[in-house]
Amino acid sequence: MNLKRRGVLVAALATSAALPFAGCAPSNKSSYSGGWVGAAPVRGHRLRDLKNGSLPTPAVQRRASVLVIGAGIAGLSCARGLLRAGISDVQVLDLEDSAGGNSRGHRIGGMACPLGAHYLPVPNADAVDVMALLEELGLRRTVHGKAVYDERHLCHSPQERLFIDEHWVEGLLPPLDALPAAEREATAAQYRSFGQAVAQAARSSQGRAFRMPTAQSVWSPELSALDAITFSVWLDSKGYTAAALRWYLDYCCRDDYGASAAQVSAWAGLHYFASRHGFHAPDHWVQKDDTSAERDGVLTWPEGNGWLSQRMAAPLAGHIHTGHIALRVDESPSHSTVDVWNDAEQRVERWTAGHVVMAVPLFIAARLLTSPPTALQQAATAVNCSPWLVANLHIDAPLDDHAGAPPSWDNVIYDPLRNSAALGYVDAMHQSTRPHAGPTVLTAYWALGGDSLGQLRAQRARLMNEPWSVWAEAVISDLARAHPDLKYKVRQVDLVRYGHAMAVPSPGVRSSAALLALAAGSVSARVHFAHSDLSGYSVFEEALGQGVGAARRVLSLLG
């Protein structure tokens, strides 16, 4: 991958305070190189600038029977479906230099690491399209009627640990014995009760209320009521106020939706657990049943879901045009015309296509279409996207560690008071089979959506305006709470900023008639929509489902 890195060397004198760990003899200087990677903001602004001025006359005319704009998971799955069905001149455009969108990988110091999405939970029986893809890619097979996953790609143990009260514990749910004695009894009761509420939700509508992908869910007045309020209002109303439980639920919302329980709907908060692996109170951990390993399984790779997107893109070689930014889409009764900026050639091209699939975020689709349908305008206004920061830190030696659970794939710091945007880090070398720890890349995630729309916007402005070195220092000092020696061992920090990373499933979004109309393909004859935004939130399963659905709709129109 040829991502441009813009930045310089940062050299900062570290404090002369002694390090807290024996056997550590670092230099007293912290110095690392780094910068922003990925081209999205710069090229995205070119779109805005070119649109504000008059577009140059197109230098080249090109044709496709179907033109897919956006080579994220949704665009790739749509194009793959069309190609497989015999549409040989499907073409895909993307503004970045490689396909994959939010699911791309990166390399530092010869080591692969994620730029965005980094895992896929083992799918349940509803996710037929995901299972078909995993079988095609050799990750899953059925033996004697039972699903078997390729062990190399299932997350190795230990998976997760939490830094709490100056030591590491296994798992991410704060264990009772790490909490102040006065909180334990009430917290235990609330863990248990919340687990029961999730189990009940998972059983509702004959087990069809919370499905993954969500298109398979049976919608009901009960779900509409949950979608009308925030998760934190619902939790308050049920008396779930224990600090440890609220921290954990908030963490899950920020991890999956990019914003806290105060912003996402109660539907989304429950869906996180009820559609996947449930919520398991501590008692359950002690007596794991024999299906728990399979149920809790997570597929992951050093380069994160870039592993998947690269393989999804492979059959489309020759059909994907990276560095191509769609600027304007004009729909007519007989065809659609798309003006495109070709960044390598520095020219505008005019593409004509029978059908156009907009596999881009809805707010971009609304800007690109010269006559955006009302449903698109409404949906683009209803969906707010959270900003995210991803920082890849190349360290040249293993970190010293506090006592407790050993280094894991996912490592999170418990912090119920600060309500931090930081979500901890994953270790890119965790899946390697090397016998000793050594240099690695730690990928730190910051979900900047906050507690309110005001915070979300302010954080986005900060993300786009502050220099990379300010963010790098913030990430290092956050992780230094668990790893004080990190600053002496970090050699390079590559950061990605996503101004509009993913749709926040805030109240009303999931029930939005406009979103449903766009996802059903009922608003336009030649322009179709396929992006995880249409699901109201962004995960691999939803993006894939939206892409597959759009391909089916186009194929039915093509006869």
Ligand X SMILES: Cc1cc2nc3c(=O)[nH]c(=O)nc-3n(C[C@H](O)[C@H](O)[C@H](O)COP(=O)(O)OP(=O)(O)OC[C@H]3O[C@@H](n4cnc5c(N)ncnc54)[C@H](O)[C@@H]3O)c2cc1C
Q: Could you tell me which residues are beta bridge partners of residue 167?
A: 164
Nearer to ligand X, 336 or 538 (CB): 538
Q: Which is nearer to ligand X, 94 or 303 (CB)?
A: 94
Q: Which is nearer to ligand X, 168 or 409 (CB)?
A: 409
Q: Which is nearer to ligand X, 127 or 235 (CB)?
A: 127
Q: Which of 7, 498, 506, 545 binds ligand X (CB under 6 A)?
A: 498
* Residue 364 found at the interface with ligand X (CB under 6 A): yes
Distance CA 488, CA 32 (A): 9
- Cβ neighbours, 10 Å, residue 343: 18
Nearer to ligand X, 362 or 523 (CB): 362
* From 441, 538, 545, 549, residue interacting with ligand X (rule: CB under 6 A): 538
Is the CB of residue 30 less than 8 Å from the CB of residue 14? yes
> Least separation, in Å, of the C-beta of 396 and ligand X?
25
3-class DSSP assignment, residue 440: strand
Of how many residues is the chain composed? 559
Nearer to ligand X, 34 or 75 (CB): 75
Binding flag, residue 316, ligand X (CB under 6 A): no
Half-sphere exposure of 418 (CA within 13 A, CB side): 9
Taking CB under 6 A as the criterion, the residue among 90, 259, 329, 390 binding ligand X is: 390
Closest CB to ligand X among residues 94, 485:
94
Closest CB to ligand X among residues 120, 202 = 120
Pick from 540, 545, 550, 553 the residue near ligand X by CB under 6 A: 540
**Which of 113, 532, 550, 553: binder of ligand X (CB under 6 A)?**
532
Residues 509 and 519: their CA atoms lie apart, in Å, by: 13
Q: How far is the CB of 469 from ligand X (least distance, A)?
A: 20
Told to check if 74 binds ligand X by CB under 6 A, we report yes
> Residues in contact with ligand X, total (CB under 6 A)?
40
Please list the helix, strand and coil fractions of the chain in percent, rounded to the nearest 5, in that order.
Answer: 35, 25, 40
Tokens representing 179 are: 């909490």
- Asked if 510 and 275 count as a contact pair (C-beta separation under 8 A), the reply is no
**Token pair of 336 as six digits:** 């659609």
Q: Which is nearer to ligand X, 68 or 201 (CB)?
A: 68
**Residue whose structure tokens are 């090229």:** 43
Q: How far is the CB of 550 from ligand X (least distance, A)?
A: 11
Q: Does 531 bind ligand X (CB under 6 A)?
A: yes
Residue 354 CB neighbours (<10 A):
18
Q: Cβ distance 169 to 175 under 8 Å?
A: yes
369 is an interface residue for ligand X by CB under 6 A: no
Q: What is the Rg, in whole angstroms, of the alpha carbon atoms belonging to the chain?
A: 23
Q: State phi, psi for 322 to the nearest 5 degrees.
A: -85, 165
Separation of alpha carbons 420 and 389, rounded Å:
13
Q: Are strands 167-170 and 146-149 parallel, antiparallel or unpaired?
A: unpaired
Spatial separation of the C-alpha atoms in residues 193 and 199, rounded to whole Å: 10
Residue 353 engages ligand X in binding (rule: CB under 6 A): no
Q: Which of 359, 413, 463, 517 binds ligand X (CB under 6 A)?
A: 359
325 binds ligand X (CB under 6 A): yes
- Does the footprint of ligand X cover residue 47 (CB under 6 A)? yes
Sole window of 112-120, 234-242, 285-293, 377-385 interacting with ligand X (rule: CB under 6 A) = 112-120
Q: Write the CB contacts of 21 (distance below 8 Å, at least 6 apart in sequence).
A: 400, 484, 485
CB 105 within 8 Å of CB 496: no
The single residue among 81, 361, 373, 450 that binds ligand X, judged by CB under 6 A, is 361
Quick check: 120 binds ligand X (CB under 6 A)? yes
Of 94 and 129, which CB lies nearer to ligand X in the complex structure? 94
Residue 116 touching ligand X (CB under 6 A):
yes
Residues that bind ligand X (CB under 6 A): 40, 47, 69-75, 93-96, 101-103, 116-120, 305, 325-326, 359-361, 364, 388, 390, 445, 498, 501-502, 531-532, 538-540, 543
